[in-house]
Amino acid sequence: MPLALRLEDVSFSYGHGTPVLRDVDLAVERGEFVAIAGPNGGGKTTLLKLVLGLEQPSSGRVEVFTTRRGYLAQRAQTTIDAPLTVRELVTAGRAPRTRLLGPLVRADREAVRVAIGRVGLERQADRRLSTLSGGQQQRAFIAKALAAEPEILALDEPTTGVDVDAQEAIAGLLQELQDELAMTILYVSHEFGAVEEFVGRIVLVRGGIVYDGPPSALPDVWHDPSHAHA
């Protein structure tokens, strides 16, 4: 399979501080579903931002072989509390594919409708976000990212604050998106139990990549004292 992205000997630090990431080599094929796990402050969100072009490496090279990227950042409560409906939120996600000014055209409205349908929120489309459950809210934010019709979907802690049933439902939704759209999915979390059965690969990040492989081989690494709390 062709590559979706590649990082070669990448290091990153904020200002002149201690490097957050050191000597990272990573290649992801198109259509892969990859979980990126690690402790808080370990560099997993920074790694995601480098892939998305939101940060630039201090050294090394980052290559992403697609221009269409969807991003679900860690949720901001102020956004959820805003008087937005699901449809309005998802429409905002269409911005990368539309003109800066003027009304949405038919293709934009259809993309919004399809994105809402893919996450199963048709009946809630005109309800305010604040009236939805935590799991439904996260589905709405995923739909927002899908509205841009991305080839890479990057999610940062997408199941934080939702119950176990909602976590499993979101994981199943992501698996469906990968199967139906051959989408490359990068799923960042300090916990990965909800997606472990769906992903083919887990990347553990703690200042660098300390493990990169299938979930089936993970326990020996996960319980190694040198990787405690990873």
Structure tokens at 129: 């976000």
Domain for residue 16, yes or no?
yes
For residues 16 and 128, membership in a common domain is answered with no
Whether 208 is covered by a domain: the verdict is yes
Task: State which of 150, 171, 196 marks the end of a domain.
Answer: 150
Please, which pLDDT band fits residue 200 given cuts at 50, 70 and 90?
confident
- Could you give the 3-state DSSP secondary structure of residue 192? coil
Strand 3-12 to 59-64 pairing: antiparallel
Residues 56 and 85 in one domain: no
| Helix or strand holding residue 24 (H, E) | strand 21-29
- Quick: pLDDT tens for 108-157: 999 999 999 999 999 999 999 989 988 899 899 999 999 999 999 999 98
Say if residue 136 is in the same domain as residue 81. Answer: yes
If one counts the domains in the chain, the total is 2
Does 125 share its domain with 13? no
147 token code pair: 């509205």
CA atoms within 13 A on the CB side of 137: 23
User: Buried b / exposed e across 19-38, counting CB within 10 Å, b at 16+?
Assistant: bbbbebebebebbbbbbbbb
In this structure, are 174 and 191 located in the same domain? yes
pTM over 0.85: yes
SS3 percent helix, strand, coil of the chain, rounded to 5, is 35, 25, 40
The answer to whether residues 181 and 146 belong to one domain is no
Domain assignment present for 155: yes
Answer yes or no: is pLDDT of 102 > 80. Answer: no
Q: What are phi and psi of 117, to 5 degrees?
A: -65, -35
Give pLDDT tens digits for 174-194: 888 888 888 999 999 877 676
